Structure 1
Amino acid sequence: EQESLRSLSKAFGVLFLISLVHHSISKTFQFLFFGYLTKLSGSSNSDENTGVGRISGVPTFLAALGTMSFLAIPGTTGFLSEATFIKLFSAVLEVTDTSAALILPLLILVCTGLAVGAAAHLKLFLGLVLSRPRANFEDHGSNK
């Protein structure tokens, strides 16, 4: 029983490193992209910036990479991270020790946080990139 917990501990260490790389790449890209959109519009209010991504000159598929990664779409680093997390989650469910009863509520909380975070990223992307512009922004090369 202790050996299975040790192997789970090592696996969660690997998951942490995978997630660290995923988060670093995706979050950096999103900060740069949304910072660029803020510079174009002159406002940091996402409600005022609705649709500015359509006229930014950045291809939509490129703008979607960070968001798709946080949604764990297959082929992204987010998918690798989430698939590893789900595999470890199922391994914790197989542990019959009382320590699994302590870990399970934490894992449920993490899953809830991941779902809420993915929804927030999707809302931001849909509003800024795929919606119609509310204001008249200068066109920087439309994504046609």
Structure 2
Amino acid sequence: MRNSLLLSVLMLFYSCGTTGHIVFYNFDANKYDVEREILNILNRDSIYIVPDKWREHIEGDYFERIYIYFKSNPEELYQIGFTGDAKTWKRSMSSKLGLISIYNGKQFLYETDLSNKEQKRIQNRLEKELLSKIKYTFKRSN
């Protein structure tokens, strides 16, 4: 039973961001540098900090995911994470960030839950309000 649970968790971790993602962003910088830039923005600009009313939806997340809160209409929480594992991250000079899901105050929504129009709106918001502020350039891919 314990091994089955561990295997399930590992499979979920390795598949995270490879299916069901909303969009991928490829960077010509390693995961640690891109992540540091994103976290610096989130820590510097408290408007992106997850409010207490939504904190229960991110607690207990065992994966290396980052949550970005957008207060302005529509109020949303974006879940992002890097593909790969620690071994890959240490030796690679590039990285791939996935927009995994969004929380709309009621439920988490994934690619299959969103229309193409909504996916574009969400991608544009993430790019304009966060990714454009980091020093590394990115290329969007699906």
Fold agreement, TM-score > 0.5: no
The structure whose residues are more often helix, as a share, is 1
Scaled by the length of structure 2, the TM-score of the pair is: 0.25
Higher CA-based Rg = 1
Scaled by the length of structure 1, the TM-score of the pair is: 0.25
The structure whose residues are more often strand, as a share, is 2
